[in-house]
Amino acid sequence: MLLHHREMGQGAPLVILHGLFGTLDNWQTLARRWADTGHRVISADLRNHGRSFQTPEHTYELMSNDVLALFESLQLGPDTTLMGHSMGGKVAMRFALDHPDRLARLIVVDIAPRLSDMAHQDNILAGLNAVDLTTLESRQQADEALAQHIRQPGVRQFLLKNLYRLDDNSFAWRQNLAALTQHIAEIGEEISSPEPFLKPALFIRGGQSDYINAEDKLYGIPALFPNSQVETIVDAGHWVHAEKPDEVFGLVDAFAKS
C-alpha cells in the first residue's frame, strides 16, 4: 500500500509529512511556494490520515516503512530533504535514523525526540469521539459537539477539515479515529537509536511552544542529531507553519538548498 501524495515542481526533492489529525492539505500553500523556487515537493498523507490507507496499527516503525515505500516508488535519491511537523516530525526522525543513506538532510518542525505526554490530546479525542456520525446532519452540529470539549475555535476548524460527506450524504472522518484513539500513547513515544544521524538537521520551534525545550536543545536533539541547529520563530506556537509561514518558508528554502 502506498501513501496518498501530491507532487509539484522540479529540482531536488523535498518530502513533507503532516502532524497528528492533519493532512497534506495543511502544507499546500507553502508547498506551492517551495515548488516555485526550485524544489520538487512531495506532500504525503500518513497512514490513518487523509486519503491514505487505514490500518489498526499505528507505530513509528510502520510509518517509517511507509515513507520508505514512497521513496522507492518515486525513485527519490540521496539528495532528498525530509521534513515533518509534530507526529510527522517523529516519523521523519525515525526514517532518518533508520535510513540515513536515503537523505541529504532532515527538517523537524516543533517536536523533540523525547517521550511526549499525550494527555494534552485527551480533550481533542473526547471531542472527536463525541461527534455521532450516525445522526450528524451538518458541520455546525459537529462543531457544537466538539465545542463541549474543545474551546478554541481554530482547533475545531482544523479538526473539521477531516469531516466529509459520503455518497449517501452521511458524514465520515478522513482519519482513522479508532486507531488513533487506541494508539495515542504510542504516538508520544520517544525516538531513539544506537547510532546518530550525522547529516545536517534543522529543528524549527515556535517560541510560544513547549514541544522543544531547553533540555532538548542542549542534550536530547544533539545526542541523536549532532550536526543539527535549532531555529526559534518568535511569537509562534505549535502550528508554526500556519502562524508564521513566511519565516518557515525562508528557513526551509535556504536549508534545503544548502
pLDDT reported for residue 10 = 97
- Give the pTM: 0.96
Q: Are 162 and 21 in contact (CB under 8 A)?
A: yes
Confidence band for 243, pLDDT divided at 50, 70 and 90: very high
Q: What pLDDT does 67 receive?
A: 98
**CA-CA-CA-CA torsion for 240, 115, 161, 3, nearest 10 degrees?**
100
> What pLDDT is recorded for position 205?
97
Q: What is the pLDDT of residue 165?
A: 96
Query: In this predicted model, what pLDDT tens digit does every residue of 102-148 receive, in sequence order?
Result: 999 999 999 999 999 899 899 999 999 999 999 999 999 999 999 99
Nearest-5° Cα angle at 157, 188 to 159:
35
Residue 192 in contact with residue 224, Cβ under 8 Å?
Answer: yes
Q: What is the pLDDT of residues 14-57, one digit of tens each?
A: 999 999 999 999 999 999 999 999 999 999 999 999 999 999 99
Tell me the average pLDDT of the chain.
97
Average pLDDT in the 166-181 region? Answer: 96
Angle, alpha carbons 209-5-96 (nearest 5°): 55
Q: Is residue 62 very low, low, confident or very high in pLDDT (cuts 50, 70, 90)?
A: very high
